[in-house]
């Protein structure tokens, strides 16, 4: 395990953050997360299950990342377990109003699938533009 | 040796000496080659009439060619170049016809070769041999002295750069260390220790031993130390770090293997993780005084074979625990079984742990008990780590750099556990203090090296924390650009900010529920 592990599940990049996010590393983490989103991916899941603290610089970073992904017409989904202290923090700073938060990785992956299905339903053409075999880009 | 030759560099001194030999023996060329023991070659260090030899860095393998034979056979040799094997083409190009070479000895070992040559055929006689050997013997001492002082200078620089110049100061932790290279001349070996804080706020400890001693072993040690720090700073886990180091060393073709033990301590979780690569087991002394060796499954020494998998093991490290990391020079004695050595170490460490106080460190105590009277046969490195109780009041001064925040959160978390904060309270107080500290660091940005202090007290019900930055800036900016202050106010009972010419102080309070 390293500080930030990135894997792909069904073509969706999942970033596991295994350390606190604070003013010391927020910018570097934002850069790596933005890079993790390939040119074709529609979603980025950031798993904060193993993260203990996120300070105000970290919260700002997540909001900036969300904006950045919006511009790229992609969606940021955070995984924060119900039992995590970060859940309380997210609520008091109003994070759920700006960023999708799911309690588990499974829930996050399901949300991605739903979003993709909706995109395909509303824009049938764009479905053909999505390359297949995305799993190959490990 | 003449006093006049005493202050010159080794090369200048040898050139001067060779010039005198050339005159006294009426020869055309004179040269000195010194043995590089690690590579088994003779390297031209000074020459007269053969300056190209030095400029081109001529190297002659031992036992080959003229100089190689003189060194390998350790006796004077006279040759006629018309009928001899010569490795060095310069000798032929120069048109040298006859040569005499003698070994340069120090304490019975050959350290080099001195040779002379003539452009016309000459039958060197016994007198020539005696004279040249005399010159070589007088040169030997000077060469050895110069080498020792050369190595000493390198050594001092390396030691200064290679060993942590100060052990970290962390509330609730006590560190002590000893580093003693064996031997009289060259004060450096392949042993080392290292202590530093990781990006995640945990502490890393390393002890290791590169095969061999002297500057070469030390330079491999330097490579290992740097690689370990770099890999750890990137946030890799211990097993990954040791595997990467192992592959790196094999890839670089380092013939010298190394043993090492590396540990990561989480001071808040009071738990540590250890990976051992062929090194002697660290000694853990539990709070009640029981001692045990961490005899976990060892991986191979690093630098031996690529693709080796290392395993990490976890150990509890509650307050009052002590850990000793050491190299073999501390415990191994000629003719003693390793079990007897461990036994002596354990007894000495337990006794020293009981006596250790502010005036005498654990490392000192262990070292004195085991080695004080014994001349060192091998290098010794020793690092002692002690987890000591935190005071009721926690006060710490930190450098104003963002990288100190993770460590501050660990220390504060440990203190809050002691004063009885529950999980929610611990989170709220720690995150808020981290915010206030981040703010103090931001103010110091651009200023020269600045510090800030964090003071924590409790009266049994309420925790009060003050973060003070001591810079001279005068400003009334809101901390955290808004959001940080908002978080602090939402998580705590009170947050007060006061600024004056001395700097800014943020005072925060939170009442503890003591539900836990």
Report the mean per-residue pLDDT for chain B.
87
Mean pLDDT of B237-265: 91
**pLDDT confidence of residue B273:** 97
Query: Is there a single domain that holds both residue B292 and residue B319?
Result: yes
CA distance A9 to A12: 5
Please state, in angstroms and as integers, the Cα–Cα distance from residue A46 to each residue in A13, A32, A81, B193, following that order. Answer: 9, 11, 12, 37
CA distance B80 to B266: 72
Query: Is there a single domain that holds both residue B85 and residue B233?
Result: no
Question: Alpha helices of B74-196 — where are they, by DSSP H?
Answer: 89-93, 126-162
Q: Do B491 and A92 touch (CB under 8 A)?
A: yes
Highest mean pLDDT among A89-103, B56-70, B433-447: A89-103
In a domain, B516, yes or no: no
Of A4, A18, A56, the CB nearest to B487: A56
Mean pLDDT of B214-241: 89
Which residue among B337, B352, B387 closes a domain?
A: B387
Which residue among B119, B135, B155 closes a domain?
A: B155
- Beta pairing partners, B397: B453
Query: Is there a single domain that holds both residue B95 and residue B141?
Result: yes
CA distance B263 to B217: 23
Q: How do residues B277-327 score in pLDDT, each as one tens digit?
A: 999 999 999 999 999 999 888 889 999 888 889 999 999 999 999 999 999
Is the model's pLDDT at A109 over the cut of 80?
yes
User: Side by side, which strands form the sheet with B189-197?
Assistant: B189-197, B203-213, B258-266, B271-277, B313-316
Is the model's pLDDT at B340 over the cut of 80?
yes
For residue B241, the domain's CATH number is: 3.60.40.10
CA distance B200 to A54: 13
For residue B466, the domain's CATH number is: 3.30.565.10
What confidence category does residue B219 fall into, taking pLDDT thresholds of 50, 70 and 90?
confident
Is the model's pLDDT at B162 over the cut of 80?
no
Q: In chain B, which residue's Cα lies nearest the Cα of A89?
A: B487
What domains can be seen in chain A, in order of their start residue?
4-130 (3.30.750.24)
Mean pLDDT of B477-484: 63
Query: Is there a single domain that holds both residue B243 and residue B382?
Result: yes
Q: How do residues B31-45 score in pLDDT, each as one tens digit?
A: 999 988 777 889 888
Work out the minimum CA distance from A63 to partner chain B, whole angstroms: 12
Listed range (B254-268, B459-473, B481-495) with the worst mean pLDDT: B459-473
What confidence category does residue B1 fall into, taking pLDDT thresholds of 50, 70 and 90?
very low
The values of phi and psi at residue B22, to 5°, are -60, -40
* Chain B from 394 to 423: CB within 8 A of any A CB: 402-403, 405-406, 409, 423
In a domain, B132, yes or no: yes
- State both tokens at A20: 């606190």
Q: How do residues B363-417 score in pLDDT, each as one tens digit?
A: 999 998 888 766 667 788 999 999 999 999 999 999 999 999 999 999 999 999 9
Q: In chain B, which residue's Cα lies nearest the Cα of A28?
A: B234
pTM confidence score: 0.75
CA distance A95 to A87: 10
Is the model's pLDDT at B511 over the cut of 90?
yes
Q: Which residue has 């190297």 as its token pair?
A: B59
Query: Is there a single domain that holds both residue B121 and residue B75?
Result: yes
**pLDDT confidence of residue B54:** 78
Contacts of B431 in chain A (CB under 8 A): 53, 55, 89
Is the model's pLDDT at A133 over the cut of 60?
no
Listed range (B14-28, B95-109, B220-234, B474-488) with the worst mean pLDDT: B474-488
Query: Is there a single domain that holds both residue B331 and residue B437?
Result: no
Q: How do residues B274-285 score in pLDDT, each as one tens digit?
A: 999 999 999 999
Query: Is there a single domain that holds both residue B112 and residue B197?
Result: no
CB pairs under 8 A between A and B: 77
What confidence category does residue B447 fall into, taking pLDDT thresholds of 50, 70 and 90?
low
DSSP class per residue in B421-470 = --HHHHHHHHHHHHHHHHHHHHHHTTSSS-EEEEEEEE-SSEEEEEEEE-
What confidence category does residue B4 fall into, taking pLDDT thresholds of 50, 70 and 90?
very low
Is this prediction's ipTM beyond 0.90?
no
CB B164 within 8 A of CB B203: no
Q: In chain A, which residue's Cα lies nearest the Cα of B441?
A: A23
Of B199, B409, B483, the CB nearest to A60: B483
Burial (0-12, 13-18, 19+ Cβ within 10 Å), A14: buried
Residue of B427, B488, B489 best to disrupt the A interface, most CBs of A under 10 A: B427
**pLDDT confidence of residue A10:** 81
Count up the domains in chain B and report the number: 3
Mean pLDDT of B487-510: 91
**pLDDT confidence of residue B100:** 96
What is the DSSP pairing of strand B109-118 with strand B29-36?
antiparallel
**pLDDT confidence of residue B481:** 58
What confidence category does residue B514 fall into, taking pLDDT thresholds of 50, 70 and 90?
confident
CA distance A115 to A73: 12
Work out the minimum CA distance from B291 to partner chain A, whole angstroms: 31
Query: Is some CB atom of chain B closer than 8 A to the CB atom of A114?
Result: no
Is the model's pLDDT at B185 over the cut of 60?
no
* Chain B from 173 to 212: CB within 8 A of any A CB: 199-201
Structural domain of residue B10, as residue ranges? Answer: 3-155
Residue of B434, B479, B495 best to disrupt the A interface, most CBs of A under 10 A: B434
**pLDDT confidence of residue B11:** 83
Query: Is some CB atom of chain B closer than 8 A to the CB atom of A2?
Result: yes
The half-sphere exposure of B94 on its side-chain side, counting CA atoms within 13 A, is 24
The values of phi and psi at residue A109, to 5°, are -65, -35
């Amino acid at each position: 395990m390293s500080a930030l592990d990135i894997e792909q599940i069904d073509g969706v990049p999942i970033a596991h953050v295994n350390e606190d996010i604070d003013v010391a590393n927020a910018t570097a983490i934002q850069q790596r997360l933005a890079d993790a989103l390939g040119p074709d991916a529609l979603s980025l899941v950031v798993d904060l299950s193993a993260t203990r603290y996120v300070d105000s610089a970290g919260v700002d970073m997540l909001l900036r990342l969300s904006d950045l992904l919006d511009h790229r017409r992609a969606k940021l989904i955070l995984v924060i377990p119900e039992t995590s202290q970060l859940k309380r923090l997210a609520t008091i700073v109003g994070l759920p109003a700006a960023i999708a938060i799911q309690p588990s990785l499974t829930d996050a992956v399901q949300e991605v699938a739903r979003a993709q299905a909706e995109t395909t339903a509303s824009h049938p053409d764009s479905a053909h533009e999505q390359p297949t075999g995305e799993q190959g880009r490990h | 040796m003449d006093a006049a030759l005493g202050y010159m560099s080794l090369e200048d001194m040898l050139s001067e000496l060779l010039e005198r030999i050339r005159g006294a023996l009426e020869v055309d060329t004179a040269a000195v080659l010194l043995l590089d023991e690690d590579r088994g070659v003779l390297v031209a260090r000074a020459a007269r009439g053969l300056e190209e030899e030095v400029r081109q860095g001529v190297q002659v393998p031992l036992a080959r060619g003229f100089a190689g034979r003189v060194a390998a056979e350790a006796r004077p040799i006279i040759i006629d170049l018309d009928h001899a094997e010569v490795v060095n083409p310069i000798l032929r190009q120069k048109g040298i016809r006859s040569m005499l070479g003698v070994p340069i000895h120090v304490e019975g070992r050959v350290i080099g070769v001195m040779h002379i040559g003539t452009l016309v055929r000459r039958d060197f006689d016994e007198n020539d041999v005696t004279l040249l050997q005399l010159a070589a013997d007088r040169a030997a001492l000077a060469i050895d002295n110069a080498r020792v002082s050369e190595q000493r200078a390198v050594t001092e620089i390396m030691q200064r750069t290679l060993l942590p110049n100060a052990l970290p100061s962390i509330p609730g932790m006590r560190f002590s260390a000893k580093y003693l290279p064996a031997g009289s001349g060259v004060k450096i070996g392949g042993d080392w220790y290292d202590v530093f804080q990781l990006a995640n706020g945990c502490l890393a400890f390393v002890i290791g031993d590169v095969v061999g001693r002297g500057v070469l072993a030390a330079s491999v040690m330097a490579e290992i130390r740097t690689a370990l720090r770099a890999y750890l700073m990137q946030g890799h886990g211990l097993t990954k770090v040791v595997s990467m180091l192992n592959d790196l060393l094999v890839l670089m073709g380092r013939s010298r293997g190394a043993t090492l033990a590396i540990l990561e301590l989480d001071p808040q979780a009071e738990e540590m993780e250890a990976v051992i690569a062929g090194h002697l087991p660290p000694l853990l002394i539990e709070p009640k005084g029981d001692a045990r060796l961490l005899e976990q499954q060892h991986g191979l020494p690093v630098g031996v074979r690529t693709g080796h998998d290392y395993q990490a093991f976890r150990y509890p490290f509650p307050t009052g625990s002590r850990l000793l990391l050491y190299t073999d020079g501390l415990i191994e004695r000629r003719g003693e079984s390793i079990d007897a050595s461990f036994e002596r170490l354990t007894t000495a460490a337990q006794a020293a742990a009981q006596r250790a106080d502010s005036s005498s460190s654990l490392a000192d105590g262990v070292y004195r008990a085991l080695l004080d009277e014994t001349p060192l046969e091998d290098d010794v490195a020793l690092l002692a780590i002690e987890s000591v109780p935190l005071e009721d009041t926690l006060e710490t001064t930190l450098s104003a750099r963002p990288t100190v925040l993770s460590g501050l959160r660990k220390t504060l978390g440990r203190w809050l556990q002691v004063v009885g904060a529950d999980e929610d309270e611990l989170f709220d107080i720690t995150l808020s203090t981290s915010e206030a500290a981040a703010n103090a660091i931001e103010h110091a940005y651009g200023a020269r090296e600045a510090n800030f202090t964090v003071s924590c007290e409790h009266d049994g019900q309420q925790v009060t924390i003050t973060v003070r930055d001591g810079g001279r800036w005068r400003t009334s900016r809101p901390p955290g650009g808004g959001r940080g202050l908002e978080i602090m106010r939402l998580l705590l009972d009170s947050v007060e900010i006061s600024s004056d010419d001395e700097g800014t102080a943020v005072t925060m309070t939170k009442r503890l529920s003591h539900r836990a």
